[in-house]
Structure 1
Amino acid sequence: MATELLQIDPPQLTFTFELKKQSSCLVHLINNNSSHHVAFKVKTTSPKKYCVRPTVGIVKPHGTCDFTVTMQAQRTAPPDLHCKDKFLVQSAVVPKGTTEDEISSDLFVKDSGRLVDEKKLRVVLINSPSSPVNGDLKQDPPSQMLPSLTAEKGMEAAQDMEEDGADKGTFPSTRSVEKVGDMKQVNDAVNLSFATKDSEELKSRLSIMDAKLREAEGTIMKLNEERRRNIREKDLLKQELEMLKKKIKMKRAQEGFPLLFVCVVSIVSMAVGYYIHP
């Protein structure tokens, strides 16, 4: 349709291609209309190769919304970096208050009577300056690539020495032997650097574990101290309870003594009166 609901910037998806590494592209959606709320949905011909976040959304009048497309790490490069993948951005006018959960494929059907627009975005791959790629050539990280290259150069040097000796009927020259020695030294240096890196990483992990262990020991000490404090408070409460019980018994005994004394005095008085006045 002729009506452009959303302006898309950039008009194509450009990814910096590098083997075994992800690449992302940010796309801006602009709603230049002053009254319409526009819902959008993003589709691709290769859903396993790309990750789109978010895939749906709503752009308010004179508002903007972004989505990010991430190309997963690839093991091989397409010939001449030519990519046939495409994306489709569907947009449709929706009522105000529509939520993202209400966005479905039915909103973008052109025969539904809504204003619907579709735009196709093609994918463009550009070569990474740091790691050129040719065809299906696989690329390893520099740290893993150096030992194989140096070993390969050493083998080539040894083969050259063997060929020179076979052609000339002589032993390899001292200069060639020195080249092989240099290759071995480079390999030893690379292996040593890897070992040093692994050692540093191991030390870092050990320091982290030691810090966590100290933190756990501190927590245990706090819990033990709190437990001892609770036991002391419990003992004090028991002692106070015993003392309270004793006080109650003494009070009861004091309250009963005067009554007993009165009874005894009364009996004695009656006895004395009986003997005095028979």
Structure 2
Amino acid sequence: MSSGELLHIEPLDLKFPFELKKQISCTIQLSNKTENHVAFKVKTTNPKKYCVRPNTGVVLPRSTCDIIVTMQAQKEMPADMQCKDKFLLQSVSAGPGTTIKDITSELFNKEPGKLVEECKLKVIYYPPPQPPSPVAEGSDEGLSQSPTLLENDNPNNGFEATRSFSDSHDKSSETKSLVSKLAEEKVAAVQRNNRLRQELELLKRDIHKSRSGGVSFMFVIIVGLVGVILGYIVKK
């Protein structure tokens, strides 16, 4: 790791688990140790081979920034897994309003009274981890006997496994059926609830209408009854 006055850089060695025809990435973390904005720029001796994102940027005060370095897929294995590629990370103090658009090559020019830090990073290749080799059959006498003893103790192992799978499948089917039934009941309950709300609303409207027109309705009924009685008396 590098600990300059502006940025703390980790790691200093870019390690790639080299594999043919495969893109490989590693991360560089920049930590701003100051109370000022710090602008940075990344250069490499082999720009066509690597992709750096971001290759320029601004690290805010007391904050961090990650840089992703991606090596393009390679068609040939390097001799002795050695790599001569190098990176250069430059950093300089910047004003509070500095943005990526303001970062130019001139910003990192060394001038009297101006602090421009430079940190060189090496590239290291190493072989990718190999998967564990399978154990040869019969290489361990004790292990080779264990399956035989299990098969002799319980010759129906295969059927038990199948039965266990069938049971779980039946349980799964029952569960799905129950969930489907509950979902249907929920939909029906919602529909009933909506109908009850509609009926309640209609009932409220009828009550309101009957209250507003109650006197005239009763008056009509009374007048009708009086007319019937008078007609009956006249007939008598």
Give the aligned partner of residue 65 of structure 1: 65
Tell me the distance in 2 between the aligned counterparts of 1:59 and 1:9.
Answer: 15
Give the aligned partner of residue 79 of structure 1: 79
Give the aligned partner of residue 6 of structure 2: 5
Tell me the distance in 2 between the aligned counterparts of 1:13 and 1:44.
Answer: 12
Q: Which amino acid aligns with 1:16?
A: P
Q: Equivalences for 1:2-151 in 2 at 5 Å?
A: 3-33=4-34, 35-111=35-111, 113-130=113-130
Query: In structure 1, the residue corresponding to 2:83 is in which secondary structure?
Result: coil
Tell me the distance in 2 between the aligned counterparts of 1:18 and 1:82.
Answer: 13
Q: CA deviation at 1:32?
A: 1.1
Partner deviation per Cα, 1:54-85 (whole Å, 9 max, x = no partner): 11010111110111000000011111100000
- Which protein is richer in helix relative to its size? 1
Q: CA deviation at 1:28?
A: 0.4
Query: In structure 2, the residue corresponding to 1:111 is in which secondary structure?
Result: coil
Q: CA deviation at 1:4?
A: 2.6
Partner deviation per Cα, 1:105-127 (whole Å, 9 max, x = no partner): 11111116422100000000011
Tell me the distance in 1 between the aligned counterparts of 2:41 and 2:32.
Answer: 14
Give the aligned partner of residue 141 of structure 1: none
Please, what TM-score do these two structures have when normalized by structure 2? 0.53
Q: Which amino acid aligns with 1:72?
A: Q
Partner deviation per Cα, 1:142-196 (whole Å, 9 max, x = no partner): xxxxxxxxxxxxxxxxxxxxxxxxxxxxxxxxxxxxxxxxxxxxxxxxxxxxxxx
Tell me the distance in 2 between the aligned counterparts of 1:63 and 1:23.
Answer: 27
Q: Which amino acid aligns with 2:26?
A: C
Tell me the distance in 2 between the aligned counterparts of 1:128 and 1:93.
Answer: 39
Tell me the distance in 2 between the aligned counterparts of 1:76 and 1:15.
Answer: 15
- Which protein is richer in strand relative to its size? 2
Question: Which has the higher mean CA deviation after the structures are superposed, 90-99 or 4-13?
Answer: 4-13
**Identity of matched residues, %:** 56
Q: CA deviation at 1:3?
A: 4.9
Structure 1, unpaired ranges of 5+ = 132-278
Kindly indicate whether the alpha-carbon contact (under 8 Å) linking 2:5 and 2:33 is maintained by their aligned counterparts in 1: no
Which of structure 1's runs of 4+ aligned residues deviate more than 2 A?
none
Give the aligned partner of residue 270 of structure 1: none
Please, what TM-score do these two structures have when normalized by structure 1? 0.45
Query: In structure 1, the residue corresponding to 2:111 is in which secondary structure?
Result: helix
Structure 2, unpaired ranges of 5+ = 132-236
Tell me the distance in 1 between the aligned counterparts of 2:117 and 2:109.
Answer: 10
> Cα gap change, 1:48/1:112 in structure 2, threshold over 3 Å: closer, same or farther?
farther
Tell me the distance in 1 between the aligned counterparts of 2:114 and 2:4.
Answer: 12
Q: Aligned pairs, how many? A: 129
